[in-house]
Structure 1
């Protein structure tokens, strides 16, 4: 009976140790996903003009200093996440990234120049483009670039 309890205790110890080792990598992936969403995702933009870019870049804290260029992807998050799988994306650049099979509605916000300190002025360019993203654990974590939808 004592050997049995020692065996269960040892298994429990390995289980807890395993959770402790795995959880930081999962948390890091979720933090990278949240960072991606903050920087590049806006499901329902209000307008897609210069004022939109100036407002959202300020709200997302991308203006300390003024970021030169940023792209916001619009639509539903499950469609973006699906690019990480074979149903909606394909390997790109030797498998380092995934390219969407379908274009997404996007807004590019480009700093108009001048001071890199706020208030930042941006020029908006709306359009439809394929997205090229990096994924970790099936989650989008980095927007590498977008390509023109043909």
Structure 2
């Protein structure tokens, strides 16, 4: 009888993991999104270090990324935007119903043409606020940061 209980427990645990984990074809995009945009302990003072560590670049080059927004929340709070905590905008985009604290790291260069820096020479400064955010969701999983909406 003990073996049957252990087997049933194992089957139930596997089923639970399968229900709560993202589909395989979305996993990489979801993990990339979290790494790049969700950091609960982010501060403006950490912009230089975190941006350097992540080595974020413009998508079509090795140039320093001009701006990156970090949502100060955990993955479950952000995922909730895709599962009822957001308003659909079309094209898989959802606007969060709630405001989130965010840290925005901007490249210090004001004129892009004068400073086409590549890693590791990127310099960033941070600002923070509380905003609604827009994210792209695929089958109820956040996969892309769309924008932040400043509510005044």
Q: TM-score by structure 2 length?
A: 0.73
Aligned match of 1:56 in 50, 53, 75? 50
Q: Deviations over 1:86-109 (max 9, x none)?
A: 2x11111x3531110011010111
Q: Deviations over 1:25-52 (max 9, x none)?
A: 932201000110111111212x323xx1
State whether structure 2 residue 31 is matched by structure 1 residue 31: no
- Unaligned runs of at least 5 residues, structure 2: 1-21, 110-114
Residue aligning to 2:101: 105
Q: Deviations over 1:85-144 (max 9, x none)?
A: 22x11111x353111001101011111113412221112111111110111121100011
Deviation, 1:53, is 0.9
Query: Take 1:62 and 1:36, find their aligned partners in 2: how far apart are those partners?
Result: 12
Runs of 4+ off more than 6 Å: none
Deviation, 1:146, is 0.5
Residue aligning to 1:147: 149
- Unaligned runs of at least 5 residues, structure 1: 1-24
Larger Rg: 1
The total of aligned residue pairs comes to 121
RMSD across aligned C-alpha pairs, in angstroms? 1.7
Q: TM-score by structure 1 length?
A: 0.74
